[in-house]
Structure 1
Amino acid sequence: MLRNAFLTALFIHGLVVNAASSSSSSEEDDGSSEHENEEHKKAHSHHWGYTDQLSWGSVFNDCNGQSQSPIDINTNTAIYDAQLPSIKLAGYDLTDNTALTLLNNGHTLQLSLPGSMRVVSGFDRIYHAAQLHFHWGSVEEPGSEHTIDNVHFPAEIHVVHYNSKYANLSEAATKEDGLAVLGAFIGIGLHENENYEKILSALTDVSLEETKTEIPGFNVRHLLPNSLERFYRYTGSLTTPPCFQTVNWTMFNDTITVSRKQLAALEDTLKMEQNQLLSKNFRAPQLLHGRRVVSSFSASPEPQGPKIIPLTEAGPGTRVRASTGAGLAGLSRGDILAIAFGALFAVTLLAFSTYAYQQRKKYSKFKKDSRQNVIYKPATKEEA
């Protein structure tokens, strides 16, 4: 009888322990979810800025992680992966009946996008578009977030998508496979970009922080490079707080160009808190910490290395690897001018040297002839 009572007590104790354990586990799960929500709330309520990037980690723990973005893309160490599937988009050609919300959120210029826009190839699952935004600098300081071989471009566009297995962007942002961002570098060209003008023409309507307006839909595909075949891929994070490390990054090799006037409008129009100019909204490149950067193309056929994009095409100091071409086509305008002036100087120097040599030879002959015509006469006493 005592034995039965002991076994009963042991059984009841086990039930109590299991219940307590289950309750504790449930509390931990709730706590994790609550933590994620808190991070989102902090990102919206905390007045972080780009001038205090080093302090982001003290408020947002993920900003201290080892899979942070942006990064510098080293073209010499990027690994060619022939198995990378090509990027294919669907639903990007929006009609002008679609209203898109343009917002100045105090950190960037953001355009809302409908979920009907999708990346249908390039990843394991379909990803729905949520929004796109920009990062830029100033006339003195180019403002792309990612760099190529430590070179910044004038600006950068990010098109943010979320995994179709999740309900929305907020849920996906906290998941390891939640986000896919298509990024492209923006350079300076000779002509105005009509597609970008569809957005930039409305800048004055959203000049103040937290103001928004609506613009008609258009073909968003035209905001990206003509070719989507050549790109770099790596795993990283949001480039703004809360810095969740949940982004599969695709950075296209080819650039888009806008006019200097259009870029100036982006640099000089928007304001943030206390009516300050919204400018230089780019995060500094982060350490790789052993992450791999892969590319969809091989650079091996180009033994002469990267091509310098002419200043009129991509802005001062920008550089990407060329798909084809060599010789003068691969030189910047400054390089071509330097070669031309150098050649002109060399020709001028050669002509001057030839002229000087001829004059010296002529003078020497004249002097010799003059000496031969002089008759030597000894001095007389009167002359002495």
Structure 2
Amino acid sequence: MLRTAFFTLLLLIHCLVLRVAPASSSSEEDDGSSEQEHAGHKKSHSHHWGYTDQHTWGSVFTDCNGKSQSPIDINTKNAIYDSKLPSIALEGYDLTDQPALTLLNNGHTLQLMLPPSMRIVSGFDRVYYAAQLHFHWGTVEEPGSEHTIDNVHFPAEIHVVHYNSKYANISEAANKPDGLAVLGAFIGIGLQENENYERILSALTDVSVEETKTEIPGFNARHLLPNSLERFYRYTGSLTTPPCFQSVNWTMFNDTITVSRRQLAALEDTLKMEQNQLLRKNFRAPQLLHGRYVVSSFSESPNQQTPKIVPLTETDPSTRVRASTGGLGEKQRGDILAIAFGGLFAVTLLAFSMYAFQQRKKYSKFKKDARQNVIYKPASKEEA
């Protein structure tokens, strides 16, 4: 009976290991993601595009077929540390003196229009003026960040779009090789409400219908980005929506921002697009690097904290991984495997101990019985 229980438990542990292992094999190129870098272009284009027909973008917008497209998967092991990368410095992000800011549901994303007084004053060759910020998100089951870290998708992503001050406006800069600079950050789920994000999210019901807008009071937009801007990845890419101009200098911060589950749910379940459908999963699939390099402002070390992830099981055959505030993805899977094999070892040891105890007990009983059947008599000289 012990042997049967042992092998049953072994089978259960084996099934657990098989269930955990596939989570480490997510695709580097095609994850069903999407992006939206509205650099001022609106629906004036003759072709009405959507996130469900990404494979057709290139037939209408030729730049979408380029070899410097975004978003990408950021492979942290391949990122090149560049000690000469200048730090990011921002000015004018405190908009509390602004009478009002325009919030828009354009049918592709939630977009907040920004004044050019907001700017990046250090980090690039020239000053870059802010134009707008927007978000990308998914669903509870399918995280919706555009970029990924080691094939890991985060629940959402924020992009703050700036244009080069050498150009008159964002429309002029949008298709220039040095035209745009986008600051991006991953949004995770935390236990507490994010008061700064609530300034935007509290107005979602006012823009629930496509092509509607409202005004919200000014606030400090700097608090929408991570506290530290020192650790980031940098690469050259494109708008992540048609017309996919390859004009973006991307900066993706390593540190994440957190909002509550309720706040993220409001973003996922409130906004509508055409035909009264929920605006969800507005992210583009990761694009190939085609020889491009990703540089980082920091070097990796064994003790370094990296974005935290937790595995997510989906009905979709191509398993994706969702990021949040729980332990590291690879590390967590390793921990589960370690616990499984540790449990197997413990069960084996217990079964062996019980088996040895039973054998010892049986031997003791046999020895006792044997002694009872022996008649003792003193040894004679001959027997000695």
Q: TM-score per shorter chain, which class?
A: 0.7 to 0.9
Match of 1:139 in 2: 140
Amino acid at match of 1:365: S
RMSD, matched Cα: 2.9
Q: CA separation in 2, counterparts of 1:285 and 1:331?
A: 20
Provide the secondary structure at the position in 2 that maps to 1:221: helix
Q: CA separation in 2, counterparts of 1:146 and 1:233?
A: 12
Match of 1:323 in 2: none
Does 2:128 match 1:127? yes
Match of 1:36 in 2: none
- Report the Cα offset of residue 236 of structure 1: 1.0
User: Retained in 1: the 8 A contact 2:254–2:307?
Assistant: no
Provide the secondary structure at the position in 2 that maps to 1:371: helix
Aligned residues: 327
Amino acid at match of 1:220: A
Match of 2:291 in 1: 290
User: Retained in 1: the 8 A contact 2:153–2:321?
Assistant: no
- Report the Cα offset of residue 46 of structure 1: 2.5
Structure-2 change in CA distance of 1:112 and 1:240 (3 Å): same
- Report the Cα offset of residue 306 of structure 1: 7.6
User: Retained in 1: the 8 A contact 2:155–2:322?
Assistant: no
Q: CA separation in 1, counterparts of 2:230 and 2:42?
A: 38
Structure-2 change in CA distance of 1:43 and 1:335 (3 Å): farther
Provide the secondary structure at the position in 1 that maps to 2:275: helix
Q: CA separation in 1, counterparts of 2:307 and 2:178?
A: 36
Note the alpha carbon deviations across 1:227-269, whole angstroms, 9 max, x for none. Answer: 1111111111111111111111111111111112211111111
Match of 1:318 in 2: 323
Q: What is the correspondence of 1:165-314 to structure 2 with a 5 Å cutoff? A: 165-299=166-300, 301-302=301-302, 307=306, 309=308, 311=310
**TM score, norm. by length of structure 1:** 0.77
User: Retained in 2: the 8 A contact 1:310–1:332?
Assistant: no
Match of 1:367 in 2: 366
Deviates more, 1:89-98 or 1:125-134: 89-98
Provide the secondary structure at the position in 2 that maps to 1:360: helix
Higher-Rg structure is 1
Note the alpha carbon deviations across 1:5-57, whole angstroms, 9 max, x for none. Answer: xxxxxxxxxxxxxxxxxxxxxxxxxxxxxxxxxx9577544210001111111
Note the alpha carbon deviations across 1:65-112, whole angstroms, 9 max, x for none. Answer: 111111111112211111110000011111164311111100000011
User: Retained in 2: the 8 A contact 1:308–1:332?
Assistant: no
Deviates more, 1:42-51 or 1:189-198: 42-51
Match of 2:108 in 1: 107
Structure-2 change in CA distance of 1:61 and 1:341 (3 Å): closer
User: Retained in 1: the 8 A contact 2:254–2:306?
Assistant: no
- Report the Cα offset of residue 289 of structure 1: 1.6
Structure-2 change in CA distance of 1:291 and 1:202 (3 Å): same
Note the alpha carbon deviations across 1:180-232, whole angstroms, 9 max, x for none. Answer: 00011111112221111111111111111001111111111111111111111
Deviates more, 1:233-242 or 1:360-369: 360-369
User: Retained in 2: the 8 A contact 1:307–1:319?
Assistant: no
Does 2:51 match 1:46? no
Unmatched runs of 5 consecutive residues or more in structure 1: 1-38, 321-327, 377-384
User: Retained in 1: the 8 A contact 2:159–2:182?
Assistant: yes
Match of 2:357 in 1: 358
Structure-2 change in CA distance of 1:308 and 1:252 (3 Å): closer
**TM score, norm. by length of structure 2:** 0.77
Amino acid at match of 1:166: Y
Q: CA separation in 1, counterparts of 2:331 and 2:310?
A: 7
Match of 2:156 in 1: 155
Match of 2:89 in 1: 88
Provide the secondary structure at the position in 2 that maps to 1:366: helix
- Report the Cα offset of residue 329 of structure 1: 8.9
Structure with more contact order per residue of length (Cα contacts < 8 Å, sep ≥ 6): 2
Unmatched runs of 5 consecutive residues or more in structure 2: 1-39, 312-319, 376-384
Deviates more, 1:154-163 or 1:339-348: 339-348
- Report the Cα offset of residue 354 of structure 1: 3.0
User: Retained in 2: the 8 A contact 1:309–1:332?
Assistant: no
Q: CA separation in 2, counterparts of 1:245 and 1:276?
A: 30
Structure-2 change in CA distance of 1:329 and 1:165 (3 Å): closer
More helix by share: 1
Q: What is the correspondence of 1:9-88 to structure 2 with a 5 Å cutoff? A: 44-88=45-89
Q: CA separation in 1, counterparts of 2:80 and 2:69?
A: 19
- Report the Cα offset of residue 330 of structure 1: 9.4
Deviates more, 1:285-294 or 1:156-165: 285-294
Q: CA separation in 1, counterparts of 2:291 and 2:88?
A: 25
User: Retained in 1: the 8 A contact 2:131–2:163?
Assistant: yes
